[in-house]
Structure 1
Amino acid sequence: MTSKTRIWTPVDYEADGKQRDCLRLPHSTDLSAYGFVPIPIVCIKSGSGPTALLIAGNHGDEYEGQIALSNLAREIGTDDVRGRIIILPALNFPAVEAGRRVSPLDDGNLNRLFPGDALGSPTQMIAHYVSDVLLPMADIVIDLHAGGRSLHYLPSALVRAGGTQAETARLIELLGVFGAPVSSISDGSGGGGATTLAAVAQQLNVPALTAELGGGAGLSRDGLQLAEQGVRRVLKHYGILPDIKVDPAPGTRLMKVDGRDAFTYALTSGIFEPAAEVGEPVKAGQLAGRVHPIGWPMHQVETVHFRQSGLVACRRAPSLTAPGDCLYKVMADIGTQASLARSRHQELQAANHNR
C-alpha cells in the first residue's frame, strides 16, 4: 500500500451533503483507449461524527447486500446523518454486471486480493483503493456477502477474533447489535485468510462485520431483511443514524469457525449427493455426502464425512463437483461473551509467548 491509487472520483469525502457519483477505475481497451469502469458510490455527511463504510458486491453474484445498500442510499438524507456514511453497493462492478463471483476483466476474486496493488490489475486496484483510501477513514465497516453460485448459506454474521480481550468483547457486542440469528467468530485460517477485506480492516484497527445472507445466486427474503435491519441497527448504535426506526435486535447464537477442520471438501469429480442441509446439527465422523462418478457405475462412490461437530453454516449448491470443492462448513457453539473474550485473549497470549 505504498503507491498512490490510480482510481479517482469527484466525490469530496469531507464535504457535507449527499453525493451520488462513481469511482473511476482506469481501464484501457481496444474500443476505449482512455476509458474507465464506473463503480457506484454514495457519500452522505453531516457535521462531525463516526464514519461507516458499507459494502456489497464484493462478489458479483451475491445480491441481498446490493439491494439492501441501494435501498438505504435512496432512503437516507443529509438531515438523517450525524457523521458520515460511505456506501458502495456494487464494489466489484464488473463482476456485479456479469453476475459472477470474479471479475470478467481479469478473473480477479476481490475478497482474495486485499490489500491490493495500485499498479496492478483492475481488481487489485479496487482492493488497494479500499485498503489505502476508504478504510483509513472508517470507524466501522460492514461487508455484505452471500454464498453466490457455489454455496447455500445460513443467514449469519461473522467477525475475526480481536487481538485483545477488550477488542474481542467489542466485536461480540457488534454481532449482538447486528442481530443475525447465528453469529460466528473466525480465526481467519479458512477461506481467504489474510487476503480479505476483513483481514486488512483488522490490521488497520477498524471493526469489521461480515454477513452471509443466502446463496445459490438467488435472493433470500430473510437474508435481505437481515441486511436491511442489521445495517440500520449498527448505524443507530454508532449514533450515525440516531433517529432511524428499526426493529430491536433479537438474540444471536454465538458460534465459532474452528480452523480448517470446519470445512469438508470433495477429493474426486462427480455428482454431489448431500447428506445434511444448511442449519442442521451434525457430529464429527457423520456422513456428509457422497460423490458419484459421472456415468461410470463400476467406479467407487466417494463418501465424505464431517471432521467436526456443529451446525451446518453452508452447503455446496451445484451438484457437479470437482476435487477441492468445498462441500460444507460447520460452526461450533461457544460459551458466554465474556468467557469467549477471555479464552481468545489467553490463546493469543500463549501463541505470542511461544513464538
Structure 2
Amino acid sequence: MVCIKNGPGPTALLIAGNHGDEYEGQIALSNLAREIRADQISGRLIILPALNYPAVQAGQRVSPLDDGNLNRMFPGDPLGSPTEMIADYVCQELIPMADLVVDLHSGGRSLDYVASALVRPGRDAEEHEKLVRLLRVFGAPISFISDGTGGGGITTLAAAAEAKGALVLTTELGGGATLSLSGLSLAASGLRRLLMDLRIVSDIDVEAASPTRLMTVSGHDAFVYAHERGVFEPAAEVGEEVAKGQIAGRIHFPDLPTREPETLLFGSSGLVACRRVPSFTRRGDCLFKLMRDLDLAPSRAGHA
C-alpha cells in the first residue's frame, strides 16, 4: 500500500489486482505511485496495485490460499478466509476514508474486453449524474452502467463502496492475461483526469478526454453462457454490433465427433463488450456479454 498525503482535501482510493491475472491496472498504479510527488497533492492518495496479493503473486484470478474470488466476497468477514478478511479490511477501513474509489479491472485469463469504464446506477438522480460525469472525465471509448446483474451483483467492491456512500468507477482495460498497451495508456490518462477533476492532484500534463459512448447492460439476455463442456467456436468479435437471434458461436465435442455442435444464439441485440478467450469451455462459462446504448434517464429502472 502506498499513501501520499499533503494537507487537507479529498481522498482517492485507487485499486488494482482485485483479480490477480489483470495487469493494466497493476502497472498503471505502480507507475503513478512512483511518479506523483507529494507537492502535487492536495488531500490524499491511497494506492493498492496488488489488492489480492496472493492471487497477484500466482498470476491467477483467485487466491491460491482459499480459492477466493475477492470481487465476489464483499463486504467480507474479519473472521473468515484470507480473501474474506481482505474484503472486510477494504470495506471497513479503506472505503470509509474515500471520496472516490477506482477499481481497475480487465478480462483476465478468461475474457477479452473492449476498453471501457463502468459505474453502478446512482441511488438517486444527483448521485447518478455525478457518476455519469466520472465516466466522461475518465474518457474511455465505451462507458456503461450496470448494477452487476450476471456478474457479481452486490458482492463486488463497487457495490460495497456504493453502500458506504463513495463514488466508485470500475474499468475493463483488455484481457487474455496479457497486457494491452492501449488499456494501460487509458488507465494512466483516465486516472490523472479524475484526480485533477477532484482537485487532489495538480500540475500534471494529461490530454483532454475523448468522447465516450454511454451504454448499459440489458439484463440476463445480454449474456451468452456455455451449456456444455467442449471447444468454443465464436461467431462474433469484441466491439462488433450483433442482433437478437444471430449465431453467437458453437460448442464442439471432439470426443464425440459424430455429435452435432451446440449452436448458441444472442438473446438480445447490442455491442459485444467481451468474449471468452480460451477455446476450451465448461458449462457455466461466460462466452459473451452485450451492451446497448443508454437511455440517460436518471432512474435505476432499466439499468442492469
Could you tell me the TM-score, scaled by structure 1's length? Answer: 0.84
Give SS of 2:126's match.
Answer: helix
In structure 2, distance between residues paired with 1:308 and 1:317 = 21
Counterpart residue number, 1:260? 220
User: What per-residue deviation string (whole Å, max 9, x for no partner) do you get for residues 264-297 of structure 1?
Assistant: 0010111000000000000111100000012311
2:253 is equivalent to residue 296 of structure 1 = no
* Aligned counterpart, 1:132: 92
* SS of residue matched to 1:241: coil
* Residue 247 (structure 1) aligns with: 207
2: CA distance between counterparts of 1:203 and 1:188?
A: 14
Residue aligning to 1:3: none
Q: Cα–Cα, structure 1 residues 347 and 217, in superposed 2: closer, same or farther, change >3 Å?
A: closer
Within 5 A, what are the aligned runs for 1:57-206? 57-206=17-166
State whether residues 187 and 258 of structure 1, in contact with CA within 8 Å, keep that contact through their aligned partners in structure 2: no
Q: Hey, what's the Cα distance between the residues in 2 that align with 1:183 and 1:327?
A: 20
Which consecutive residues of structure 2, in runs of 5 or more, have no partner in the other structure? none
Answer whether contact 2:218 2:302 (CA < 8 A) is retained: no
- For 1:340, the equivalent position in structure 2 comes to 297
TM-score of the superposition, structure 2-length normalised? 0.98
**C-alpha distance in 1 between matches for 2:82 and 2:50:** 14
| Conservation of the 8 A alpha-carbon contact between 1:178 and 1:234 | yes
Task: Name the SS for the 1:233 alignment partner.
Answer: helix
Separation (CA, whole Å) in 2 of partners of 1:221 and 1:161 = 29
Match of residue 322 from structure 1: 282
2: CA distance, partners of 1:283 / 1:176: 27
Opposite residue 38 of structure 2, the aligned amino acid is T
Matched, 1:221 2:178: no
Answer whether contact 2:33 2:47 (CA < 8 A) is retained.
yes
Aligned to 2:265: 305
CA distance in 1, matches of 2:218, 2:297: 13
CA distance in 1, matches of 2:227, 2:301: 36
Q: Which whole-Å CA distance do the structure 2 matches of 1:322 and 1:283 have between them?
A: 25
Return closer, same or farther for 1:252/1:347 CA change in 2, 3 Å cut-off.
closer
SS for the counterpart of 1:340 is coil
Does the aligned pair in 2 maintain the 1:53–1:140 contact within 8 Å? yes
Query: Rg: which structure is higher?
Result: 1
1:15 aligned partner: none
Distance 2:128 2:49 in 1: 28
Q: 1:277 & 1:253 partners in 2: Cα distance?
A: 18
In the other structure, the counterpart of 2:16 is: 56
Opposite residue 315 of structure 1, the aligned amino acid is: R
Match status 1:209 vs 2:161: no
The residue aligned with 2:291 is 331
Aligned residue for 2:297, secondary structure, equals helix
In the comparison of the two structures, how many residue pairs are matched?
A: 303
1:329 aligned counterpart, secondary structure: strand
Deviates most, 183-192 or 275-284: 183-192
CA-based RMSD of the aligned residues comes to 1.1
Task: State the Cα distance separating 1:245 from its structure 2 match.
Answer: 1.1
Unmatched tracts of structure 1, length 5 or more: 1-40, 349-355
3-state DSSP class of the match of 2:175? coil
